[in-house]
Structure 1
């Protein structure tokens, strides 16, 4: 058994956690650069928690400029075991309405301007992301959301686009009708892939703000309406997060889905051929294996 330490990566509208005890903003240095912001660290119901505003306080990072590698590395360095990603998204499904939450279980990655791996030349690794989120963590998020009277949908495919512009009508229809995506956002990739490389359990909670541009009765995305829905969703998210420590407990067994052992057979470069500089940068992410 190991100590549970929950990390919450807050998306647009969610910039803090209510009720965090002994809270302090901690600056974490990483070999991948500075994270999006300092990390709020404290405890909730006796369980250590960390909160990282993905876009930084004041929303200074665009989806493309978020330092994803530094963020995940920093959470790993702090000893986090379970990462809950909370992010604003558009919906491709009538029944997934603005104000609803979706516990995402699949991704389609359409981003192209971001570093997507901790590994590379000098230390090659291939992790499986066939099932990119942790079902155990998803269960806890679903239970917490329902207990908070949030309308939540379990399971959904998240289309990750580069942004920062929203979709064209043609793109929106293609993602919905041909590709079968359920929600669309700009920030869960490569975040989910990096969490898997760092052997962190990861769950994605998509907070729906709009119907993207496909819906005939809603037209193009209205940013004013999005912001209004965003604020309501952020309040719901805080209520959901507050229930997670009790559900996840103070200690945890090894992940039954193997998230915390994702690198077990993933590193292919032989020890004598590994780049020592890259290996040094991987001390937190892959220290267990290296």
Structure 2
């Protein structure tokens, strides 16, 4: 029976995950440098969770400085079968209020200062990002969040901005015109890298504010974000544990979207032209096909 090993990437406010059985901190080295922090591996029954704080303990790393490639590589090396991202975000819709969660299933990537692929010179590959989120994992996580007492919105477009500054009003209004639902700084290139690593990915976008477009709400500031974030974090922890409990005794089958085999037809560079040094760095991410 295939077991669930779920990587949990904790966003702003979520720097530790209590309640795991047999929890141990693990230092992982990757060809892409060190991940954000040590990974903590533990169990809830027969489900394994591997927790990684995206910004490091104490929130040491800004969104632009998060080692996204190292983080995804480390989770892959730890044997993760799936990755669930927990992220604070701003709402671009009246109906998505602070304290509520959005199970984003689409992304618009407006980041520009980050390494966005494991592939490049010496080994080129192109994966599909048409449907960047694993619908099964997103559904299970949404169910768990609802069971934890959170109002959950299923589906939505997440606008990933570079940051670290928040939006101008003009930007906020523009993104609303584009039809975006929430705005954040960290789900890209994270989702792209998870896909390249053949890891089903889903995100819980925890709304902390209305960005700055809302005429009747205070423009986003660190103070009011932190207040909502603290409330969201405790419920996110409960949702994660609820998700693990809901999977007890179940056998994990491949993602219905075929994510675990997405590299089968993605490799472009001919075998004779592949750079051996580039291939060494891909041992965990693409070892299945290389």
Using structure 2 for the length normalisation, give the TM-score.
0.98
Query: Which aligned segments of 4 or more residues in structure 1 are displaced greater than 2 angstroms?
Result: 246-251
- Report how far residue 262 of structure 1 moved: 1.2
Kept after mapping to 2: 8 A contact 1:199/1:263: yes
Partner of 1:126 in structure 2? 126
Cα distance in 2 for residues equivalent to 1:254 and 1:155: 21
**Most deviating of 51-60 and 237-246:** 237-246
Partner of 1:213 in structure 2? 212
1:3 partner SS: coil
Cα distance in 2 for residues equivalent to 1:217 and 1:25: 45
Cα distance in 2 for residues equivalent to 1:18 and 1:152: 23
Partner of 1:69 in structure 2? 69
Deviations 1:54-107 (A, max 9, x none): 000010000000000000000000000110000000000111000000000000
- Report how far residue 274 of structure 1 moved: 0.3
Kept after mapping to 2: 8 A contact 1:64/1:113: yes
Deviations 1:7-39 (A, max 9, x none): 100000011112111111100000000000000
Kept after mapping to 2: 8 A contact 1:18/1:242: no
Kept after mapping to 2: 8 A contact 1:10/1:51: yes
Asked if 1:106 is matched to 2:106, the reply is yes
1:200 partner SS: coil
Deviations 1:198-245 (A, max 9, x none): 000100110000000000011421221110100000001001000112
**Most deviating of 71-80 and 251-260:** 251-260
Where in structure 2 are the equivalents of 1:92-103 lying within 5 Å? 92-103=92-103
Kept after mapping to 2: 8 A contact 1:140/1:248: no
- Report how far residue 256 of structure 1 moved: 1.1
- Report how far residue 48 of structure 1 moved: 1.1
Partner of 1:188 in structure 2? 187
Cα distance in 2 for residues equivalent to 1:287 and 1:232: 40
Partner of 2:252 in structure 1? 252
Deviations 1:93-127 (A, max 9, x none): 11100000000000000000000000001100000
How many corresponding residue pairs? 289
CA RMSD of aligned residues (A): 0.9
Partner of 1:278 in structure 2? 278
Unaligned runs of 5+ in 2: none
2:170 partner SS: helix
Partner of 2:10 in structure 1? 10
Cα distance in 2 for residues equivalent to 1:248 and 1:46: 8
Cα distance in 2 for residues equivalent to 1:138 and 1:201: 10
Kept after mapping to 1: 8 A contact 2:9/2:85: yes
Using structure 1 for the length normalisation, give the TM-score.
0.98
Kept after mapping to 2: 8 A contact 1:28/1:34: yes
2:123 partner SS: coil
Kept after mapping to 1: 8 A contact 2:3/2:46: no
Unaligned runs of 5+ in 1: none
- Report how far residue 2 of structure 1 moved: 2.5
Asked if 1:19 is matched to 2:19, the reply is yes
